[in-house]
Structure 1
Amino acid sequence: MTTILSRRTPPSPGDDGAAFGGVSAMFGMVRRSNHATALAGWIVATGAMGLAVQADTIRTAGETPYGGALLAALAPVLVAGTVTVALLVRANRLTSFAQERFYRFIAEIPGDAPELCAPAVLQLQRLTAAVRHRETLTQQALTWAYVAGVGALGWSAAAEAMAFGH
């Protein structure tokens, strides 16, 4: 007795190679963008925790001779962190929308249609394009996260040096 995996008609020749190539490329892009997303999120979260720990330094910086400069140096760090988060949210929304559209398309395919018919391949290409755009956005977010992380580290070092009067 054999197990039937699908009751749909087999795909037409030629469609399967393009579709499977697109899917494998998409998985590679998702893996890379997931790593970038995790690292960018970790950098921004660590920087935010570091600044939260130094909340007292931020609050009292205005009372020191160079406190205004120290507070002004904090602004680019906060902007870089905000840009990172905005890019990550945008990337998530983009792929969530494309994935939802793809699942809706799959649910509406009649049972007797070929699995890899031309409209399905088109939907896979659209999903792949969305994932490619997500990868670009997450790489940009990672770059901004590096800026935010280095900025937070530099700001912390400057605040430490000012606290000890160097």
Structure 2
Amino acid sequence: MSRWSGLTAAALLILGLAGCDGGGMDDQAKIEPYDVPPPQWGGIVGALPPVPGTVHQMEDGEATRPRITADLLARGGDRYAIFCAPCHGPGGHGDGGAVGRVVPQPPSLLSAPLQRVPDSHLFRVISNGKGRMYGYASRIPEADRWAIIAWLRDVQARTPDQPPAGTGTTPQG
């Protein structure tokens, strides 16, 4: 048995070495990223356009977003009321109608820690979910996710973090 094991190991080694650059695979024509291909390749480029829905990351890590307009803020408030308010509440305090019945209380979106996170973080959480929150990438188009973030940033800038009227509770962050 040991003779067959030795022969098998030797055969596998020979077969493995035969594939290592025996056919010039390291030297074959290929396009490296950002290379300009030869004209005979028909205009193929080394850097393909990003997949639709890709979030561009700038050097500082802050994701790009659309220009803030009154229409964008209105759209964001409308989308927030539909998708976010049931849990996060109409003002973002974490006091939505589903809290305590369907979901546990989420953090206040007006808390200081959430006011400091980059927009790219909020975009990822809306898209992919976090904790018990499921992702909305398949339910909310990318442009509407950015509109929600713009609306939320506007609310955060105008509203101090305080508990909802009459609850006597402190918001969670």
**TM-score by shorter chain over 0.5:** no
Greater relative contact order (Cα 8 A, min sep 6): structure 1 or 2? Answer: 1
Larger Rg: 2
Q: Which has the higher helix share?
A: 1
TM-score by length of 1: 0.26
